[in-house]
Amino acid sequence: MQDYKDICHKVVKLTDEVASFIAEERTNFDSSKIEYKGLNDLVSYVDKTAEKKIVDGLMKILPDAGFIGEEGTNRSSKNGLKWIIDPLDGTTNFIHGIPIFSISIALISTTDYCLGVVREVNLNECFYAWKDGGAFLNGVPISVSSQQNLKSGLIATGFPYYNFEKMPQYMNILMGMMKGCHGIRRLGSAAVDLAYVACGRLEGFFEYNLNAWDVAGGSIIVKEAGGTVTTFSNEDTFIEDREIIAAPPVIHKEMQSIIYKKWNS
């Protein structure tokens, strides 16, 4: 049986090293080396190099685990475990010099989520959790917000940069949320959004058209911090269905009610 606590701490140390690389590259970033993977989908040599550093480090920790990486790393698992990696979540922020971007790493088994690590590079904050071990920020236990209703909450979301087919429904959701909470924020890194829900800075987060590497690490941390994570229709398949609501249980119920009705209207 794997010691997920020990593995998690090793991953935290690895992200510290990779975050130093990303921060250093930001100070001398060459914007002429930006590439486009698709419409408004940017990637740089920093993303690619960071992913290689992460993969190399994780292979030393669990040599037989598989990989799913945003920048193309894909390997089958030999032991039922798989890493899901976003080496630089918030690439557009990084490229434009906006200081919210992060590293996100999750370890999953064939049946469960094992651990998650999200490191926000600029504040050097590392959020992490392992199965049944609680959630932490730089070694200090964290939990989701104690607010008991949506009207007292601050909510984060994201906007799609392609696949705009459901924008009318999404705008209806935004209108409902704007009327029902303290405000809505768009930070530009889903991993950070989830980490902030886990530590109580945000009362909730929702978005659609996300990939596994955007949410896998952060969702584990939210769950271990006492939060609820589902699809818009209140199912557990938020990775497969590419839509997510994350919040403390009571606020999640309110958010899900608003989102589900307007999303399906």
Q: Annotation-wise, does 30 bind a ligand? A: no
Whether 214 has a binding-site annotation, put simply, is yes
Looking at residue 132, what DSSP letter applies?
T
Does 47 appear as a known binding residue?
no
d(CA 157, CA 143) in angstroms, rounded, equals 20
Contacts of 177 (CB under 8 A, 6+ apart): 155, 157, 184, 255, 258
Cα distances (Å, whole numbers) of residue 237 to 66, 110, 118, 241, 243:
21, 14, 21, 6, 9
Rounded to whole angstroms, the Cα distance separating 171 from 186 reads 14
193 is in an annotated binding site: no
Is 194 annotated for ligand binding? Answer: no
Count how many Cα atoms sit within 13 Å of the Cα of residue 6 in the half-sphere of its side chain.
5
Point out which residues pair with 108 in neighbouring strands. Answer: 82, 113
Residues annotated within the binding site are 70, 86, 88-89, 214
Residues annotated within the binding site for Mg(2+) are 70, 86, 88-89, 214
